[in-house]
Each structure stands twice: as C-alpha cells, then as structure tokens.
Amino acid sequence: MSVSAFDRQRSNVRLGIKLGFVALFFVGFGFAMVPFYDLICRITGLNGKTNAVAIVADKNTQIDFSRSVKVEFLSHSMPGVGLHFKPEGFSIRVHPGEISRMNYTITNTTDQVFVGQAIPSVTPAVAAQYFEKLECFCFSQQTFAPGETRTMPVVFVVNPKLDPDFGTVTLSYTFFEAVKAKS
C-alpha cells in the first residue's frame, strides 16, 4: 500500500492545523496563568502577596508601643527594561499598628515610554498576612515618559497580631514591563 503524495500533503496540512491550535492554546494559557497565579497567591498568601485591606477599618486596633518591627525595603527591575528603581531608605523601625510610609524613586533611563507594574513580595511569607498596604504604586500600572523620574509612596501598617518573634519583615518589589509601549 503506497500513500499518494496528495494524501501525505493533506495529512501534513491537518497536522499543521492541529499543531497551530495547540500553539494558540498554550499562548492563551500562558497569558491566563498570570492573573490566575496572582489570584491564588492573594487568596492563600503564597509568595508573600499581601492584602490591600486597610487595618484602619478595625476600630479596636491600637499601636503597640511596647515593641517595634524592622521593615526592610528591596527593589528589583527585570534586566533590560531600563529602569532605575530604589527605595529612599533600606529599612525603618515601626510599631505594630502604626501607619508608616516609604517612598520609592523610579527613573526611566531609556528614550522610550515605559509601562510597567510593581509586584510586591513579603518575607517571611508567614508575615505577609500581617503586612497591609493602604496605598501603593503597585496597585496599578505605571506609565513613565522617556527620562522621567517619579517618587511614589507605599503606605502600610504592620498588624499588631504579628507574632512578637518576628523582628524583621522584608518588603520586596520587582518592576515588570506590563505592555510594550509605543513611543
């Protein structure tokens, strides 16, 4: 039994179409994984994702002046994105329940418009549920003009329910390019 060239070509075309659909499926799946992963991390507290729920809504919250927590600040940007991204200070000491603030300075060092978003992570991961951001540049995408420098705040509270054994909490941001912007 020999297969004609026409049958082989038709079989190859069908295989190509099937492989094209598989490729499209995985591209869509890859894009769908980002919000799905973010949702899972927010629900479970995995990967240090924090809730954006304000502690000030709790009427019984008091500042715990009997202890303090050292909060360290780190910043990273993806290689090759052309950002200079850093906190104004490496660390501060805060009392649990106290509203605190740290500014980050971001400079777009390229000659292109940059659209990106910062993704926060808190370590140790167990402390993430007690680190509550009230205001943060990470809540939405940011657009930077070429050469623009901007100072953006993160306002936060360390919940007094944080285990007293935790003396240091680290807030780390990684800045990702969200959209390839047109200049």
CB 49 within 8 A of CB 128: yes
**Higher pLDDT, residue 160 or 41:** 160
C-alpha 141/C-alpha 1 separation (Å) is 62
Q: What is the mean pLDDT of residues 136-159?
A: 93
pLDDT of residue 83: 87
C-alpha 119/C-alpha 17 separation (Å) is 37
Residue 104 has pLDDT above 70, yes or no: yes
pLDDT of residue 122: 93
SS3 percent helix, strand, coil of the chain, rounded to 5, is 30, 40, 30
CB count within 10 Å of CB 70 equals 13
**Higher pLDDT, residue 180 or 167:** 167
Q: Which of 46-60, 72-86, 91-105, 150-164 has the lowest mean pLDDT?
A: 46-60
Homologous superfamily of the 48-179 domain (CATH): Ctag/Cox11 (2.60.370.10)
Q: What is the mean pLDDT of residues 46-70?
A: 64
